[in-house]
Each structure stands twice: as structure tokens, then as C-alpha cells.
């Protein structure tokens, strides 16, 4: 299985994008680098977790660090697009390894407040202090000489953002590959109408904009892929071609009603709403996850 691909820069001011696919969670991590200065950002890194044994590991995060060392890169940012429901974030681990600042969208505070109630964590801070920077719509930043800006892209979650870096956009779980469709909108805080609006904002980028997705589910058993462009999405995505807003909302509601929740959602959100921090060890030195029962009423069963 192909689990790595490098998308080379097209011109000055555009990035090299290395994608790393995790078959366990169908997730894609990215190292986005400036060819001129060798500075880079890590986007949506994965901390390994086996729900059957409770084991954690850093295999995928260490793969990123090995690539960064091999290429002679310096980490300028560690970025998450949203609090993930299907894998743990390795942002905190990678910050400890690199010293780079972490960032996420400012509306993560809404997600924190929502899940604070679900987990019954009265002591949980919900002001986003777990990250160094909380980005707002339209904020700009740099990775070396690369210009980057932030789009607020809710609908899948309350806090989802898109990073537009040169000619590349990291669209997380709004769009999947053009042969698969778009993201679900039934998580707590999700909204199909809002997701449609976010997708339209992304598709207003230039046709040649490279789009990098947060997951790939390999329809019909094909090899994993995670890069497309705006024109391909408009022409081929089955959830977008000849689709009106109302038809999309109906489609999304119908499809989502049949989808079981991700198997790690109750595990992952208590880590990812804290910036990738695992629970603190208890008096016996062990860490424990807290799984609320019957917390997601109406979710489909597998």
C-alpha cells in the first residue's frame, strides 16, 4: 500500500507537500515545507492508539520527524485543522520534540465547552489555552517565505478551519477525494447547511489550487490518495456535481443517519480538546480514559 507521496512546488511561493497515510485510521498527516528556507509546518499529526489494548505509541509522529531530519527542515508550526474524532493528535508530543508553536482555530473553545459537558469535566479549561495560537478567519502567517491564511470552515465540526498555503489548501474533513464525496455533519456541533457553505468557500479558490484532504477511504479498494484540485472536485465529486444546497442537505442528512460514529470518537475528543495531551497519570502511575455511556443518543449502530 502506498502510504507516502510528495507533491512538489510549482513556482516560487508554493510549498512542497509530503503526505503520510495512516491505514489504521485512514488519516493523512502532512509536512508542508518552503523550498527556499527549508522551514516547514506539520498538519494534523497522528498519535498512535490501539483501542483493544489501550496502548499508545509515536510511530507515525516519529516518521514525520525522521522525514524532517532527512530533508534538513526546521519546524515552524504544528497545526491542527480541528479536534479530530477518529485519531489522537500528536501535536503536544511533537511540540515537546521540536519546540515549535501549536495552533488551531479559535472556535475550538466551543468544542471544548460542548465536550466538557459530555465528559462531565467541571475543571476543564475551555479558553483554548492548550494551544499557543488560536486562528481566526482571515488570519495570516508565514512558513519561511510562504504566505499562509486561514479560512473558517465549520459544518463537520464547530471549529474546523482550512489552511491555504501558497497554491495548496488543507481542507481536512470537508471534502474527500473526487471519487468519494464529502464529510459527515452529524457530530455534536455539526451542521449540513454550514458544511455546504464551507465547501462553496473552498471551491471559490482558483481551479488549480491543490486540495489536500484529511482522510481517504479507498473506494473499491484503490490505493490511498489525498490530493486533488478545485476543478476536479467541481467536475467529479458525486456530492457536488449538479447539486443544489437543499439537495445536498437532504443527501447529507440521509447518509449521516446510517453512519455509525467513529470507533474512537469518545476516546479521541478527550485528548484532542486538550491539544493532544493524554490524561494525567493517577496515583498508581497509570493514565485512564473516561468513556461516557449513552452520550451520543440516536447514533447508528454497526
Q: Could you state, in chain order, the average pLDDT of each consecutive group of 10 residues for the chain (302 residues)?
A: 97 97 97 98 98 97 98 98 97 98 98 97 97 98 98 97 98 97 96 98 98 97 98 98 98 96 96 97 97 92 86
DSSP 8-state assignment for residue 132: S
- Spatial distance between the Cα atoms of 254 and 174, rounded to a whole number of angstroms: 17
Q: CB-based contacts of 179: which residues, under 8 Å, 6+ apart?
A: 219, 222, 236, 238
Q: What is the pTM of this model?
A: 0.97
Contact 49, 27 (CB under 8 A): no
Instruction: Enter the C-alpha cell of residue 51.
Output: 483501542
Position 165 scores a pLDDT of 98
Question: What are the structural domains, with CATH classification, of the chain?
Answer: 4-272 (3.60.15.10)
Predicted pLDDT of residue 298: 84
Q: Would you state the pLDDT for residue 302?
A: 83
State which H helix or E strand residue 164 sits in. Answer: strand 161-165
Amino acid at each position: 500500500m502506498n502510504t507516502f507521496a510528495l507533491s512538489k512546488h510549482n513556482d516560487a511561493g508554493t510549498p512542497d507537500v509530503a503526505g503520510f497515510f495512516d491505514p489504521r485510521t485512514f488519516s493523512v498527516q502532512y509536512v508542508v515545507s518552503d523550498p527556499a528556507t527549508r522551514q516547514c509546518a506539520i498538519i494534523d499529526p497522528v498519535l498512535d492508539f490501539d483501542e483493544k489494548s489501550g496502548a499508545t505509541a509515536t510511530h507515525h509522529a516519529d516518521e514525520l520527524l525522521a522525514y524532517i531530519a532527512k530533508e534538513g527542515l526546521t519546524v515552524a508550526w504544528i497545526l491542527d485543522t480541528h479536534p479530530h474524532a477518529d485519531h489522537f493528535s500528536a501535536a503536544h508530543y511533537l511540540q515537546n520534540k521540536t519546540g515549535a508553536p501549536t495552533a488551531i482555530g479559535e472556535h475550538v473553545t466551543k468544542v471544548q465547552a460542548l465536550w466538557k459537558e459530555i465528559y462531565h469535566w467541571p475543571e476543564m479549561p475551555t479558553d483554548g489555552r492548550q494551544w499557543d495560537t488560536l486562528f481566526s478567519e482571515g488570519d495570516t502567517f508565514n512558513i519561511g517565505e510562504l504566505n499562509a491564511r486561514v479560512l473558517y470552515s465549520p459544518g463537520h465540526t464547530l471549529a474546523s478551519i482550512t489552511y491555504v498555503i501558497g497554491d495548496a489548501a488543507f481542507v481536512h474533513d470537508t471534502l474527500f477525494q473526487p471519487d468519494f464525496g464529502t464529510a459527515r455533519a452529524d457530530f455534536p456541533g455539526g451542521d449540513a447547511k454550514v458544511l455546504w457553505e464551507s465547501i462553496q468557500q473552498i471551491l471559490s479558490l482558483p481551479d488549480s489550487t491543490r486540495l489536500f484532504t484529511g482522510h481517504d477511504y479507498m473506494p473499491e479498494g484503490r490505493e490511498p490518495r489525498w490530493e486533488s484540485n478545485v476543478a476536479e472536485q467541481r467536475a467529479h465529486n458525486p456530492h457536488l456535481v449538479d447539486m443544489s444546497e437543499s439537495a445536498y442537505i437532504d443527501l447529507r442528512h440521509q447518509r449521516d443517519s446510517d453512519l455509525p460514529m467513529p470507533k474512537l470518537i469518545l476516546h479521541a475528543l478527550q485528548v484532542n480538546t486538550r491539544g493532544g495531551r493524554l490524561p494525567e497519570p493517577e496515583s498508581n502511575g497509570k493514565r485512564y480514559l473516561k468513556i461516557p455511556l449513552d452520550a451520543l443518543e440516536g447514533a447508528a449502530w454497526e
